[in-house]
Structure 1
């Protein structure tokens, strides 16, 4: 019987072990999409205890606790921090076969050198031990990034954000670049006219212009896109149920904007036309600047309206949606490609039924100008676990070139989430290791090791044009 979470965790044979330990393990981390709060990085925040850094804002854990019968007051409520942690510790044994079980113990090991199993009996000792460490300088958020060998972080930012913390970090010269990503979801969300009008006012203030027409609005948003670029941004991101690719005219969209500003509700077709137009503007700006655009599609959000009203969004009420993606995705990408304005693009899906479709779709628009120009992004959210990662990588391998894959990201709000990169790397190395030992791939560990390092680091560094991050010296022995 193999020990739990030892150095060969998830590595089922000697080739997989060699690939991970010699080639993948020590590669730096480029976290090109996450939701880390940049204000905490700028302030170099220290947390008082495990609850604050682990449970505040973590809807993954909240969903598990609720499913285990834990009262909401221990999730999002005002119970004391230790009492919340104790309820999580009592829940952990019931999370076996959920990725939370692995993530929890990997994080305890990698950050705190705690190898005990977390449960209600070990909770107090683990809480006290980790709490003491967290209050030391070595466990400030910047040092946590250093501890995990993070080379780059991209946060997620609204066009109206002032990016003051990013500017501060840049001015200070913090050695780990923390760059913004342009996330204009609210700028195109016209479902509620009153909310849309409030957002237009935010853009007016951020851009310091008066917006009285759709042309004014686009000009203001473009100025924000330019401002993000001046801070070092080279990435955009969209979180959508589906891509929108309706036909429209500029005069129609101008009239729809006027209708919204007058407080009038758009019908379903008009909403889709407005969102289609906005997506094209954003995509063309990304292409002009040589940015990478990301599309996260397939989430059905805010399902529990009762608890949404009580607790707000991003508290654990989202799910996998079953939207029809292929036709609009093809039309949207095709429109941009036809006009020679298709930027490098990463597509992430939330419904595993779409894996092969997305993987195949990327090949339609890879034109040879850039290696892996259109990417099938890593397994996302509900699929961000062993089975989901394997299925995503198998679909990518079967339909495209996994050798050009830009690899893993955390998509997390937690500074303790970086062992997810290790989790991914172990799974990746085991996939290759098993096929080498089965005779399905040649026993060319040096070449496969190079591919592993590319997927873990170099592909992303090159794809995003971040060559300034440098190259680990040990890569030289492979070429």
Structure 2
């Protein structure tokens, strides 16, 4: 695209790289490394069918609650966000918003994605919106922009989506049979079987009963059904689990108590907080022991306060932009939970993610309690997640992990995204990572040893994850 006016020059080759050391680390070491996206929410159906998108709004704005929140804040009517406006009208309203996202990561991501995927080097604003929409939409209609090619062209080697235990994994099977060339795996996400106090719990257990072929008339039946589905996922190449919880609960319990709690909920009675936490503790301990048995990696995403706006949640449903950071206590119950597993030698490889930046040092120091020398980086402090998936959040996570643990053992970045245009976030992370090391090389806080530091950068970008997940 012509760049005679409104040229966007801030996404240069040395974007975010503040000195010659940072620049060399990125260009000579980080940029060439493949991507392992070990946690995301890409729809496997669209990968299996090699779906092509009709226009830029469809692939880039629909379903993106990051953009939706920004548009609402800027005063854009919901009609142009999740409503019945045309795709071109929705894009025009996004273009109207973008110039005012300055200093929000959306401003960087927007222009990085336009440049990397579409070779469009213009600032997005109302005056450039039509030209950008037209050019990107025309490109999206070509085979090079199908879902599979969008993944391949970003040098992605592994994608790990996230599925519920009741999922058939048919699309993963279809992908494997068709020989895509990129490993598309899955993560087991059993939250609906764990969160017993939800309104939909009993309906979900009925479905799990049907899918697993196990009569779930008791807590043991629930465990047996989950074991069947764990075996099914493992047979389909699954090597990871994932949990999205406000906090990791821990309460002492007896088997009789758990059975009584389960039966109480199955007869549509509401549980107390103590009963809820005892049940969650029991079922999570069972699942974690199963993950250890299978040598899986378990992931815990902790700290989200979800569905805050009841009016809009009732209107639009979950995952539409009404969540925020919670301030739940994390340390004591997390420690007790991990200690219970470790004491029985059933603590598998674990990644802990926090959403509250105040918990950075808590998690960064917690992992050292259970890194026992059996596996390099066995317990990980995960990359900046969700609201912390931005420059400041990444730097704080990098610094906390560096200060409390070993950044050299870190398994690096993931997208945690539903968008096929999100892979430049790995580049974003890598540039920030290289800049942190480069600044300290320049200041004399680190040796100017490119062989050593370049290897550590490559390990964080790719090699550590490849070894850790054993894809």
Query: Which residue matches 1:161?
Result: 167
Q: Secondary structure at the match of 2:163?
A: coil
2:40 is aligned with 1:34:
yes
Cα distance, 1:73 vs. partner? 1.0
Cα distance, 1:214 vs. partner? 1.3
Query: Which residue matches 1:228?
Result: 233
Q: Secondary structure at the match of 1:348?
A: strand
Cα distance, 1:264 vs. partner? 1.0
Cα distance, 1:248 vs. partner? 0.6
2:132 is aligned with 1:132:
no
Choose from 442, 446, 459 the match for 1:454.
Answer: 459
Using the TM superposition, name which of 35-44 and 251-260 deviates more. Answer: 251-260
Question: Any conservation in 1 of the 2:239–2:296 contact (CA below 8 Å)?
Answer: yes
Choose from 261, 267, 279 the match for 1:256.
Answer: 261
Query: Which residue matches 1:413?
Result: 418
Choose from 13, 16, 22 the match for 2:19.
Answer: 13
Once the two structures are superposed, residues 278-302 of structure 1 have per-residue CA deviations (whole angstroms, 9 ceiling, x without a partner) of: 1101100100000000000000000
Tell me, in whole angstroms, the C-alpha distance in 1 between the residues paired with 2:345 and 2:403.
28
Using the TM superposition, name which of 169-178 and 150-159 deviates more. Answer: 169-178
Cα distance, 1:452 vs. partner? 0.4
Query: Which residue matches 1:25?
Result: 31
Query: Which residue matches 1:381?
Result: 386
Tell me, in whole angstroms, the C-alpha distance in 2 between the residues paired with 1:278 and 1:55.
37
Q: Secondary structure at the match of 2:422?
A: coil
Question: Any conservation in 1 of the 2:209–2:225 contact (CA below 8 Å)?
Answer: yes
2:442 is aligned with 1:437:
yes
Q: Secondary structure at the match of 1:191?
A: coil
Tell me, in whole angstroms, the C-alpha distance in 1 between the residues paired with 2:182 and 2:172.
12
Map 1:54-69 → 2, pairs under 5 A? 54-69=60-75
2:203 is aligned with 1:198:
yes
Question: Any conservation in 2 of the 1:244–1:279 contact (CA below 8 Å)?
Answer: no
Tell me, in whole angstroms, the C-alpha distance in 2 between the residues paired with 1:423 and 1:208.
45
Question: Any conservation in 1 of the 2:140–2:146 contact (CA below 8 Å)?
Answer: yes
Tell me, in whole angstroms, the C-alpha distance in 1 between the residues paired with 2:236 and 2:256.
33
Query: Which residue matches 1:293?
Result: 298
Q: Secondary structure at the match of 1:239?
A: strand
Aligned length: 464
Q: Secondary structure at the match of 2:347?
A: coil
Question: Any conservation in 1 of the 2:412–2:462 contact (CA below 8 Å)?
Answer: yes
Cα distance, 1:174 vs. partner? 1.6
Query: Which residue matches 2:284?
Result: 279
2:320 is aligned with 1:330:
no
Once the two structures are superposed, residues 283-326 of structure 1 have per-residue CA deviations (whole angstroms, 9 ceiling, x without a partner) of: 00100000000000000000000100000000000000000000
Q: Secondary structure at the match of 2:162?
A: coil
Question: Any conservation in 2 of the 1:42–1:165 contact (CA below 8 Å)?
Answer: yes
Tell me, in whole angstroms, the C-alpha distance in 2 between the residues paired with 1:110 and 1:120.
21
Structure 2: unaligned runs, 5 residues or longer: 1-7
Tell me, in whole angstroms, the C-alpha distance in 2 between the residues paired with 1:201 and 1:245.
27
Query: Which residue matches 2:3?
Result: none
Tell me, in whole angstroms, the C-alpha distance in 1 between the residues paired with 2:393 and 2:214.
46
Question: Any conservation in 1 of the 2:55–2:140 contact (CA below 8 Å)?
Answer: yes
Tell me, in whole angstroms, the C-alpha distance in 2 between the residues paired with 1:434 and 1:293.
34
Tell me, in whole angstroms, the C-alpha distance in 1 between the residues paired with 2:212 and 2:180.
27
Question: Any conservation in 1 of the 2:214–2:225 contact (CA below 8 Å)?
Answer: yes
Deviating beyond 6 angstroms after TM superposition, the runs of 4 or more aligned structure 1 residues are none
Question: Any conservation in 1 of the 2:190–2:243 contact (CA below 8 Å)?
Answer: yes
Choose from 69, 76, 83 the match for 1:70.
Answer: 76
Tell me, in whole angstroms, the C-alpha distance in 2 between the residues paired with 1:3 and 1:47.
28
Cα distance, 1:209 vs. partner? 2.4
Q: Secondary structure at the match of 1:151?
A: strand
Query: Which residue matches 2:97?
Result: 91
Tell me, in whole angstroms, the C-alpha distance in 1 between the residues paired with 2:365 and 2:14.
33
Tell me, in whole angstroms, the C-alpha distance in 2 between the residues paired with 1:43 and 1:3.
37
Once the two structures are superposed, residues 86-127 of structure 1 have per-residue CA deviations (whole angstroms, 9 ceiling, x without a partner) of: 000000000000000000000000000000000011000000
Query: Which residue matches 2:4?
Result: none
Question: Any conservation in 2 of the 1:296–1:348 contact (CA below 8 Å)?
Answer: yes
Cα distance, 1:210 vs. partner? 2.0
Choose from 216, 234, 242 the match for 1:237.
Answer: 242
Tell me, in whole angstroms, the C-alpha distance in 2 between the residues paired with 1:252 and 1:273.
8
Q: Secondary structure at the match of 1:155?
A: strand
Choose from 127, 130, 138 the match for 1:121.
Answer: 127
Query: Which residue matches 1:472?
Result: none
Cα distance, 1:191 vs. partner? 1.1
Query: Which residue matches 1:177?
Result: 183
2:222 is aligned with 1:217:
yes
Q: Secondary structure at the match of 1:181?
A: strand
- Root-mean-square deviation (CA, aligned residues, Å) is 0.9
Q: Secondary structure at the match of 2:200?
A: helix
Tell me, in whole angstroms, the C-alpha distance in 2 between the residues paired with 1:158 and 1:101.
33
Once the two structures are superposed, residues 356-405 of structure 1 have per-residue CA deviations (whole angstroms, 9 ceiling, x without a partner) of: 11000000000000010000000000000000000000000000000000
Instruction: Give the TM-score normalised by the residue count of structure 1.
Output: 0.96
